[in-house]
Structure 1
Amino acid sequence: MTARFALVDVFHDGPFTGNPLAVVSGADLDTATMQAMARWFNLSETAFLLPPTHPEADYRVRIFTLAHELPFAGHPTLGACHAWLALGGTPRQAGRIVQECGAGLVPIRQNGDRLAFAAPPLLREGPVEEATLRDLLAVLRVDRERIVEARWADNGPGWVGVMLASADEVLAVEPIRRHEGRIDIGLVGAHAPGGDVAWEIRTLFSDGAGALVEDPVTGSFNAAVAGWLRETGRATGPYVAAQGTRLGRRGQIFVDYDGADWIGGRTLTVAEGTLPVDLASRQAQFA
């Protein structure tokens, strides 16, 4: 038995500049096999396309990191939608796609060469506890006085947001490389006014084996940041954020407001093929 897969470049600014996503479709896989395949792809996330179970959804997706399943994540949402459309998927409503995932239903819209999802509600928000903040500062190797604001920004992956005074300060952070236990940190800092890009984003997460990994582009954290900036008056209209700069990427995130926060980016299939699902199932038995 085989499954189809596509490698999709999400939030790119030209081929091979965004965040790669593996999208697997066309096979009935158990959870252990999905997790084994996600570990093998060795990307920040792997998405699995499935038939919807909700009457309003166009398709369903399950999203896996190297270590666990997520109820929602941003670049897998856009990449899975891109792959579903490329496979011939037709939305119930032209120009509007509804994705079903662990966090519920997520609206997605097409805008020229970009897809955008409506930011889901936060699962946790508000100030960060003192003990958690101390841990964050130790991981980031940042002095407390450099923190403009820190707050929970968890819409699924568990992000804690840390705002610094500028984009340059965000880019200068040199975090530790190993951290025992799960941690998900997002950094945000403003660029100088008048440029093409308004904000610089970085995200760091633990891979389940103690290593701290930097994600090239993170739609879920950008979605949380969009609400944060709007609620605090730091952004009052559309803007563009950059991410992946320290990794040599050129990720671009387009944020719009129209009663909802829409998080958009360009998507592109860069490779596709088939996978031997039986082998993956056997590997899952030994994981």
Structure 2
Amino acid sequence: MKTRPFKQVDVFTATPYRGNPLAVVLDGSGLDDDAMQRFAQWTNLSETTFLLPPTEPTADYRVRIFTPGGELPFAGHPTIGSCHAWLQAGGKPRARGRIVQQCAVGLVALRREEGGRLAFSAPPLRRSAPSPSLLAKVAGALGLKAQQIVAAQVLDNGPVWFGLLLSDADTVLGLAPDHGLLKALGVKVGVAGVPAAPEEPMLIGRSNREARAFGGRAPAATADESQGDGAKIDLEVRAFAAPIGVEEDPVTGSLNAGLAEWLIADGHVPARYLAAQGQCLGRAGRVHIERDADGTVWVGGDAVTCIDGEVSL
């Protein structure tokens, strides 16, 4: 074993402990697959990454991404979190204002946005209509009725997500999935819904009666009440990934990338919007989506370092 620089980063939030945590080993050299997998199981986070020198001449660094259950070719919150950690540790991009990450899915471009926020270019998306029989089984595992599903697509941008657009955000927030059944089906499911426009401004303080009416959760809001920045939420998202050992992921970049490419293309959401994820886990993840004039979809989020030190591996 040797001592290696290490950071634990909270991603898709500017407020520590409100987003999705990521473990980053800044020097993964000399570690074999088993050692990386063991450490990812030990951290017990949705993802752990290991930074390595690039093998592609145009890349700034290479990353390997592990869940407790295995390696991923690409994932969004590890992309933003790893880039944040690499830059904070003194990494210097080859090109000004642009960072290139190498991972198993290929080269992923990142850019710095207003306020230092990072955004990655969504990988190419392959999507298709799910089989009616599988759709019915997934709906059953989520406790959904057919009329609550507006649209469905299988989304593949490295990870494969079974994407569902539901009738509204409150339906998304009210789901209580059968995770064992989802695991048996072998599908990772991402659900999304648009918040209803409130008849009057939402207030931060709500009565216990109001909370009980929403199953103990606050109603879907159009303003970022938890972080207090007044940002309008355009889409509420949840991600269930029991097949890889994560029943519900707090904030999911790859899913939000796939949802954005699908939902924008089919006219369900505008070309620029803000997604919220993690409310049911006590988090307040915020994912900034923007499609450029050339069709490139950028998935952005803040990141903050919560632990900075060393690890023996």
TM over 0.5: yes
Q: Could you tell me whether the CA contact under 8 Å between 1:25 and 1:49 is conserved in 2?
A: yes
Other structure's SS at 1:192 match: coil
Amino acid paired to 2:108: V
Amino acid paired to 1:8: V
Change in CA separation of 1:83 and 1:13 when aligned onto 2, cut-off 3 Å: closer
More off after superposition, 55-64 vs 23-32: 23-32
Change in CA separation of 1:208 and 1:103 when aligned onto 2, cut-off 3 Å: closer
Amino acid paired to 1:19: N
Quick check: 1:116 aligned with 2:152? Answer: no
Give the alignment of 1:188-267 within 5 angstroms: 188-193=192-197, 195=222, 196-208=232-244, 213-258=247-292, 259=294, 260-267=296-303
Provide Cα deviations, 1:33-56, integer angstroms capped at 9, x if missing partner: 101100000000111101000011
Q: CA RMSD in A?
A: 1.4
Change in CA separation of 1:58 and 1:152 when aligned onto 2, cut-off 3 Å: same
> Out of 89, 94, 97, which is 2:96 matched to?
94
Aligned residue number for residue 15 of structure 2: 14
Q: How far off is 1:272 after superposition?
A: 1.8
Provide Cα deviations, 1:190-242, integer angstroms capped at 9, x if missing partner: 01348300000000001556xx6100000000001111121111223311000
Q: How far off is 1:13 after superposition?
A: 4.2
Quick check: 1:186 aligned with 2:190? Answer: yes
Amino acid paired to 1:271: I
Aligned residue number for residue 30 of structure 2: 28
> Out of 148, 151, 158, which is 2:150 matched to?
148
Q: Could you tell me whether the CA contact under 8 Å between 1:125 and 1:151 is conserved in 2?
A: yes
Aligned residue number for residue 175 of structure 2: 173
In percent, how many aligned pairs have the same letter? 47
Residues of 1 paired with 2:98 and 2:157: CA distance? Answer: 22
More off after superposition, 188-197 vs 236-245: 188-197
Q: TM-score, normalised by structure 2?
A: 0.84
More off after superposition, 187-196 vs 268-277: 187-196
Other structure's SS at 1:62 match: strand
Residues of 2 paired with 1:164 and 1:57: CA distance? Answer: 38
Residues of 2 paired with 1:193 and 1:229: CA distance? Answer: 19
Q: Could you tell me whether the CA contact under 8 Å between 1:63 and 1:76 is conserved in 2?
A: yes
Number of aligned residue pairs: give it.
Answer: 274
Segments of 5+ residues of structure 1 without an aligned counterpart are 278-287
Provide Cα deviations, 1:242-272, integer angstroms capped at 9, x if missing partner: 0001111000000111121000000011102
Segments of 5+ residues of structure 2 without an aligned counterpart are 199-221, 223-231
Residues of 2 paired with 1:217 and 1:139: CA distance? Answer: 21
More off after superposition, 187-196 vs 233-242: 187-196
